[in-house]
Structure 1
Amino acid sequence: MYTDQTFDDVRCEWGERGVAALAPASDVIIIVDVLSFSTCVAVATGRGAVVYPFAGEGAAAFTQAHDALLAAPGRPREGYSLSPHSLLTLPDGARLVLPSPNGATVTLAARRAAPNAVILAGCLRNAAAVAGAAAGLGRRVAVIAAGERWPGDGSLRPAVEDVAGAGAIIAQLPGTRSVEAQAAVAVFEAARGDLPGFLRRAGSGRELIERGFAEDLALAAELNADACAPRLMADGAYAWRR
């Protein structure tokens, strides 16, 4: 029978089902989607924008209702998208709707499963800031690696870059760690000497390079480049209040 790791302070799981398992006993939930939702959120909020995670149909109507900009699905060459590089020019105060099949979907699942928990978006770029914020917000922390989707049936594909991102955060959190959390730290420690190379060798990284988005890997690999700890606010947007 599955155990929800409740004997430990810091726990780690995968995707929507991981949220469902860990959320009820969590004060803080950290969503990690390194390539690229969480990295996009860190880049955008670190520059003064707010980000509305979105999943499903009706993005255009949602965007209009929130007087926001809509990021294009995928990574088109023009405009804002799930490419972190495309968000470097977001103006301070921008409101961005960011559709995502992974990080946004898991964020919204966490909000449904634990409406009273604090939800943060973490990645390699803001690992130290997110860990510091989480440590001050509660003892029981769930770190959720979002993962990717297999083509065809859309089932969860564990993504090693998300394990490394989770480990970078967990390594700086106080309290006891579940075995799953310890494993994430071990992956991060093995990768930290060459994070750019690690991301380039990962399956998701190779895919982005083949599509011409190597610059996104470079941004995602910059450990602690951003001092923001984006928090999901009551209006459903991630924001960072300096």
Structure 2
Amino acid sequence: MFGEQTGFGVRLEWGEAGVRHLAPLADAVVIVDVLSFSTCVDVGVSRGAAVLPFRWRDARAAAFAAERGAWLAGERSVGGPSLSPASLLSLAPGSRLVLPSPNGGTLCALAQEAGGAAVFAACLRNAAAVGAWLRERCSRVLVVPAGERWPDGTLRPALEDLLGAGAVVNALGLSPSPEAEGARAVFRALRERLPGVLAACSSGTELTERGFPEDLTLAAELNVSRSVPLLRGGAFVDAAH
């Protein structure tokens, strides 16, 4: 089929449709949701916590957390652990956190439902670590920039996720499809200006206006983390340790 990017070691496709169509063809699926799901996963996992992704932010999330003996991340505005990377800097080793995310959490669930492929979370902070780990173990990797949503619910491709996906492709070193190569080219062109680019893009502007500039600072840090978040038993843990 023309949309399968056949013959390449690294494929790239956006969002839910990308996971549904291409995850069955991969050994590993890498979810990239820079602002802020996968950055939160990296921050939590690098501190020795287990992060449990969840699709919905409602009573189902509370029940899910209670069943698994985990904390539930709340809204950014109320304090405590949330979908704010800065709020997770004090997570204790061994803690368990349910992280509801309509974008990243949904993609993780879909990737698991596709069957077979291992599921990873990557961002700018850990792109090199995830890429190096997979390069030694997998020959078919699907990189999925999550994107955001327009008010009508349709996918809005997001620059920050394209950059994060390009950073992963850059680190993988496997033969990229043209789609993956394009993301890598964008990352290479902008890698020296990541803090400014993230702050000025649509998603970054929204975070600043909502009062979370520290989240942008954390998300724009390139390759500062060695964590390799692998979804195992419903929770992201560090495959590198």
Instruction: Compute the TM-score of the two structures, normalised by the length of structure 1.
Output: 0.96
Preserved contact between residue 31 and residue 38 of structure 2 (Cα < 8 Å): yes
CA distance in 2, matches of 1:2, 1:208: 37
Q: Which amino acid aligns with 1:78?
A: G
The secondary structure found in structure 1 opposite 2:93 is coil
Tell me the alpha carbon deviations over residues 24-60 of structure 1, each in whole angstroms, 9 at most, x when there is no partner.
Answer: 1100110000000000000000000000100135001
The secondary structure found in structure 2 opposite 1:227 is coil
- What corresponds to 1:95 in structure 2? 96
Q: Which amino acid aligns with 1:71?
A: A
Tell me the alpha carbon deviations over residues 49-93 of structure 1, each in whole angstroms, 9 at most, x when there is no partner.
Answer: 0001001350010000000000014x2241110000000001111
CA distance in 2, matches of 1:11, 1:82: 28
Q: Which amino acid aligns with 1:63?
A: A
Give structure 1 regions of 4+ aligned residues with deviation exceeding 6 angstroms: none
RMSD of aligned alpha carbons: 1.1
Displacement, 1:2? Answer: 4.5
Displacement, 1:175? Answer: 2.3
- What corresponds to 2:236 in structure 1? 238
Tell me the alpha carbon deviations over residues 175-211 of structure 1, each in whole angstroms, 9 at most, x when there is no partner.
Answer: 2111100110111111111110010111000000011
The secondary structure found in structure 1 opposite 2:3 is coil
Q: 2:63 aligns with which of 57, 61, 64?
A: 61
- What corresponds to 2:74 in structure 1? 72
- What corresponds to 1:28 in structure 2? 28
| Structure 2 residue runs without a partner (length 5+) | none
Tell me the alpha carbon deviations over residues 84-130 of structure 1, each in whole angstroms, 9 at most, x when there is no partner.
Answer: 000000111110000001111111111111x2211110000001110
CA distance in 2, matches of 1:176, 1:78: 44
Going by fraction, where is helix more abundant, 1 or 2? 2
2:15 matches 1:15 = yes
2:22 matches 1:44 = no
Preserved contact between residue 27 and residue 137 of structure 1 (Cα < 8 Å): no
Displacement, 1:162? Answer: 0.2
Preserved contact between residue 6 and residue 25 of structure 1 (Cα < 8 Å): no
**Higher mean displacement: 31-40 or 3-12:** 3-12
Q: Which amino acid aligns with 2:7?
A: F
Preserved contact between residue 28 and residue 137 of structure 1 (Cα < 8 Å): no
The secondary structure found in structure 2 opposite 1:8 is coil
2:158 matches 1:159 = yes
The secondary structure found in structure 1 opposite 2:197 is helix
Q: Which amino acid aligns with 2:141?
A: V
Percent of aligned pairs sharing the same letter: 54
> 1:166-205 maps to which residues of 2 (within 5 A)?
166-205=165-204
Q: Which amino acid aligns with 1:66?
A: R
